[in-house]
Amino acid sequence: MADTNYLLRLYHKCLKLPLGRQVFSRMFARKAPYFKTIRPLITELRPNFCELRFAKRKAVHNHIGTVHAIALCNGLEMAMGAVAEASIPKHLRWIPKGMQVNYTAKADSDICIQASCDPDAWQVGDVAIQVKGMRSDGTVVIEGDIIIYVSAKPERK
Full residue range of the structural domain in which residue 124 is found:
6-152
Tell me if 1 is assigned to some domain. Answer: no
Q: How many domains does the chain have?
A: 1
The pLDDT, as a whole number, for residue 4 is: 74
Confidence of residue 1 (pLDDT cuts 50, 70, 90): very low
Tell me if 95 is assigned to some domain. Answer: yes
Residues 6+ apart with CB under 8 A from 54: 38, 39, 40, 41, 60, 71, 75, 110, 111, 113
Structural Rg of the chain based on CA atoms = 16
**Distance between CA 113 and CA 142 in Å, rounded?**
9
**Distance between CA 148 and CA 145 in Å, rounded?**
10
The pLDDT, as a whole number, for residue 3 is: 56
22-51, pLDDT tens digit by residue? 999 999 999 888 899 999 999 999 999 999
Tell me if 157 is assigned to some domain. Answer: no
Tell me if 136 is assigned to some domain. Answer: yes
What CATH number is given to the structural domain containing 103? 3.10.129.10
Residues 6+ apart with CB under 8 A from 138: none
Tell me if 108 is assigned to some domain. Answer: yes
Single-letter amino acid, residue 27: M
Mean pLDDT of 51-72: 95
2-16, pLDDT tens digit by residue? 457 999 999 999 999
One DSSP character per residue, 124-135 reads: SEEEEEEEEEE-
Q: What distance, in Å, lies between the first and last C-alpha atoms of the chain? A: 26
Q: Provide the whole-model pTM.
A: 0.93
Mean pLDDT of 92-114: 97
The pLDDT, as a whole number, for residue 55 is: 96
One DSSP character per residue, 44-104 reads: EEETTEEEEEE---GGGB-TTSSB-HHHHHHHHHHHHHHHHHHHS-TTEEEEEEEEEEEE-
Residues shown for the chain:
157
Residue percentage of the chain with pLDDT more than 90: 92
Mean pLDDT of 95-102: 97
Is residue 76 pLDDT above 60, yes or no?
yes
Confidence of residue 77 (pLDDT cuts 50, 70, 90): very high
